[in-house]
Amino acid sequence: MQIDPEGLSAAGTTMRSLADGFADKLTAFQARLASIGPAFGDDETGSLLGVAYDEAAAYVFESLLEALDEVGFAGDDLTGMARAHEANEADTGDLFRVLLKRMEG
């Protein structure tokens, strides 16, 4: 099994960056929608539709932001795995060097 710590770290950093960037854009889009005002008008029917739309939109935005958080956390985990693998490789190399010195006398 070959592990590429640099590749893992780069993928993790990219995932975190993309998740954060998309979350920022989603939040800005949400603010833009809110600034437009009632999408269905001010009459009784429009108000009822607006309430339903607001609830559905809030649920969708919340779900998307939670999913983006998870993508970001996965990116953080990949970066952490890369660091842990590099540390493990260094420790293992040190152990083999100590063993080799002992065997050589």
User: What's the pLDDT tens digit per position in 13-26?
Assistant: 999 999 999 999 99
Angle between helices 5-36 and 44-104 (to 10 degrees): 170
pTM of the prediction?
A: 0.75
Question: Could you tell me where the beta strands, DSSP code E, fall in 1-105?
Answer: none
Mean pLDDT of 84-93: 92
Residues 6+ apart with CB under 8 A from 17: 75
Match 């954060």 to its residue by tokens. Answer: 20
> What confidence tier does 34 reach under pLDDT thresholds 50, 70, 90?
confident
List the domain boundaries for the chain: 5-104
Residue 51 pLDDT > 80, yes or no? yes
Contact 73, 82 (CB under 8 A): no
Domain 5-104: assigned CATH number = 1.10.287
